Structure 1
Amino acid sequence: MELSYGDVKAAAARIEGRVRPVAVAPADGLAPDGSAWFALEYMQHTGSFKARGAQNFLQAHQDEGRVPEAGVVIASGGNAGLACAWAARQLGIPATVFVPTTAPRVKVEKLRGYGAQVRQIGTEYAEALAAAQNYAAASGALLSSAYDHPLIAAGAGTLGEEIHRLLPELDTLLVAVGGGGLFAGIATAAGHYGVRTIAVEPSACCALSAALAAGEPVDVEVNSIAADSLGARRATALAVTAAQRYDAESVLVTDDEIVAARRTLWSDRRIAVEHGAATALAALTSGRYRPASGERVCVVLCGANTDPSSW
């Protein structure tokens, strides 16, 4: 399965005016011999990039008259569910969201605020997914995906397209990876322009890295502080194909490095993001990815559905 640049362009046309354009800001000191930027996607509707894919997915189905009366159902660690609930509300579609019992309370409360029916099942995303699939089969609801669908990944890829428009001379994008929807979309858009994509994962939650080592998607253990947003047991085939096609580099960071990057964002810049979003930055602050002299890099800060009081 492969995502095309045409898929990303079609998504951009479909969701134009329905999502917030990304802003970028200089990230002084992160690339001493080059230049660095932050893509502030945590300012997106629902607090993460997921709004792009959800809007593209539901808009495409509604345009084609393929949304059932039972509405849409999704399993999520939180952010994809928020995005699905938000997009469904915009389009007048009922939404049911299955989340693990470990989902952060701030995300569960926001889901209910968007009018979704929330069902908490199991302790991992995989358990919530199985429950959502059973619900879809029994109710006839449209089953959406947190990351493993071409329309979801193409919608996420529109972020890469916008970043290129703002930073046309960019060399490298650093992106946090869970199941790989954001990575697949951004790598496809960035690769079209010759921009490298660095896939950053927690070392204890690294589905894409394991898939690249095995040559195909494989199951991995999930045990990371960032598991609420990056806790997929298996990377999507779309992400694996994109990584292979565009020769993406895989970088692993520890939970301690993720925590340190998150705290640095807050203490130095007063930016509060969730651990999943800080994962991309941790590749730079830990030194596990060292930009070459003159390299122009951008770190995607992809989500901020967190409670700073819990730090």
Structure 2
Amino acid sequence: MIELPDDWRPVVAAARDRIAGHARVTPVGQMTLGGFDIAVKLEQMQHTGSFKARGAFNTLLQANVPAAGVVAASGGNHGAAVGFAAASLGHAAHIFVPEVAGPAKIALIKRTGATCHVVPGLYAEALAAARAHEAETGAMQVHAYDAVPTVAGQGSCFAEWDAQGLEADTVLIAVGGGGLIAGAYAWWGDRRRVVAVEPEQSCALHTALAQGGPVDVPVSGVAANALGASRIGEICYGLAQGRPAVTVPDAAITQAQHMLWQEARVLVEPAGACALAALVSGAYRPEPGERVAVLICGANPAPDPIAG
């Protein structure tokens, strides 16, 4: 059982202050995309191309890291973030990724200096291998999404966005294991409407909300290597009660990804365009006058567009 804070906002605020100078402050702005006027935060400009660096730094900066270093399971982005944070702070890191992570993300993890272990199967198999390494070596596990320091670190993104002057009634956020959106729920509570957006073929939160608790789900589709958690985190599930969640088809994710490049010259992987896909597909339809914001994240498409 995960021990949760009674009040999340001070925990998120402390994480924001703790990681200052380690995580980047990412830019915000207004864009018109596909006819929608939206506020955006370009979190794909974070270290290693995703918000994951926030949770990784927050976890390591308050931990007594053992001599064996840290270990993490990842679809790719979390592993790169943990590897980067560990190297920045002088710790060894072992990262376990499934084959579906793909060569671009595997190469990114290796560039951080971490030892990368490629595991047959999906994220669940990588997590099992990481836990075995933890038990064998005494390394510290850095969970990708279902841990209070991780969630609080991801929540710093939204505390930062508020400080940058966000004016929005509704914020659309992509969901994999749930660490990012849990950070949004933790920081905003009921102050803004937070809408969870998942791929139809990887929808652990949507399924959990329908069935009354986290359950294992099949994972596939264009965003599976980033949003492919087979089971939603307990923290996210608890915070998501009574909140809106939608799913989007792969075709809409790809369309949103192309739209970001063609109309704004913003290059993201499919997962990074998933939240925007809710507007593209009509899965989320704003009311007249509703101010909508979209978190853009995930800058590691495969293949790497400028590898070589």
Q: Normalised by the shorter chain, which TM-score bucket?
A: over 0.9
Match runs of 1:11-26 below 5 Å: 11-26=15-30
Letter in structure 2 aligned against 1:276? A
Matched, 1:223 2:220: yes
- Indicate the larger mover: 204-213 or 23-32: 23-32
The answer on 1:253 being equivalent to 2:251 is no
Q: Any runs of at least 4 consecutive aligned residues in structure 1 with deviations exceeding 3 A, and if so which?
A: 29-32, 307-310
% identical equivalent positions:
45
255, 259, 263: which one pairs with 1:264?
Answer: 259
SS at match of 2:26: coil
Structure 2: distance between partners of 1:168 and 1:79: 26
Per the normalisation by structure 2, the TM-score is 0.94
May I ask how many residue pairs the two structures share in their alignment? 301
Call closer, same or farther: CA 1:166–1:108 in 2, change over 3 Å. same
SS in 1 for 2:195: strand
SS of the equivalent of 1:295 reads coil
Shift of 1:28: 1.4
The residue identity in structure 1 corresponding to 2:104 is V
**Is residue 141 from structure 1 mapped to residue 145 from structure 2 by the alignment?**
no
| C-alpha distance in structure 2 between counterparts of 1:288 and 1:31, whole Å | 15
1:119 is the counterpart of 2:117: yes
Deviations 1:221-244 (A, max 9, x none): 101210100000100111111111
Q: Does 1:46 align with 2:48?
A: yes
* Aligned mates of 2:275, 2:79 — CA distance in 1: 22
* Distance in structure 1 (CA, Å) of the matches to 2:159 and 2:42: 14
Q: Distance in 2 between matches of 1:308 and 1:109?
A: 10
What is the CA distance between 1:57 and its match in structure 2? 0.4
Would the aligned equivalents of 1:148 and 1:181 in 2 still touch at CA under 8 Å? yes
Cα contact 1:272–1:308 (8 A) shared by 2? no
SS at 1:188 equivalent: helix
Instruction: Check the 8 A contact 2:275/2:294 in 1, yes or no.
Output: yes
Alignment of 1:1-311 (within 5 A): 2=4, 4-29=8-33, 35-61=37-63, 66-191=64-189, 194-244=191-241, 247-306=242-301, 307=303, 309=305
CA distance in 1, matches of 2:126, 2:81: 16
Distance 2:160 2:35 in 1: 22
Deviation at 1:104, TM superposition (A): 2.0
Change in CA separation of 1:137 and 1:29 when aligned onto 2, cut-off 3 Å: closer
- Deviation for aligned residue 1:22: 2.1
* In structure 1, distance between residues paired with 2:188 and 2:165: 11
Write out per-residue CA displacement over residues 246-276 of structure 1, whole angstroms, 9 at most, x where no aligned residue.
x321010001111111111111111110111
> How far off its partner does 1:187 sit?
1.7
Q: Which runs of 5+ in 1 are unaligned?
A: none
Aligned-pair distance for 1:219? 0.8
Contact 1:19/1:51 (CA < 8 Å) preserved in 2?
yes
2:56 corresponds to which letter in structure 1? Answer: A
Deviation at 1:31, TM superposition (A): 6.7
Deviation at 1:122, TM superposition (A): 1.5
CA contact (8 A) 1:98 1:120 kept: yes
Q: Distance in 2 between matches of 1:188 and 1:172?
A: 15
Structure 2 CA distance, aligned partners of 1:168 and 1:233?
32
CA deviation after TM superposition for structure 1 residue 303, in Å? 1.1
Q: 1:99 to 1:288 in 2, by over 3 A?
A: same
Letter in 1 for 2:16: A
- Deviation digits for residues 130-159 of structure 1 (CA, Å, limit 9, x no counterpart): 000001000110011111111001100011
How large is the Cα RMSD of the aligned pairs?
Answer: 1.5
Cα offset for 1:111? 1.0
In 1: Cα distance, 2:35 partner to 2:51 partner:
24
Distance 2:250 2:154 in 1: 25
Structure 2 distance, partners of 1:201, 1:185, is: 16
C-alpha displacement of 1:103 = 1.1
* Aligned AA (1:239): C
Distance 1:215 1:162 in 2: 33
Aligned partner of 1:214: which letter? Q
| 2-structure distance, mates of 1:29, 1:178 | 24
Structure 2: any 5+ residue segments left out of the alignment?
none
SS in 2 for 1:225: coil
For the residue of structure 1 that corresponds to 2:245, the secondary structure is strand
> Given the superposition, is the C-alpha separation of residues 106 and 308 from structure 1 closer, same or farther in structure 2, using an over 3 Å criterion?
closer
Alpha-carbon distance, 1:166 to partner: 2.0
Question: Deviation at 1:93?
Answer: 0.3
Q: Residue 309 of structure 1: CA displacement? A: 4.2
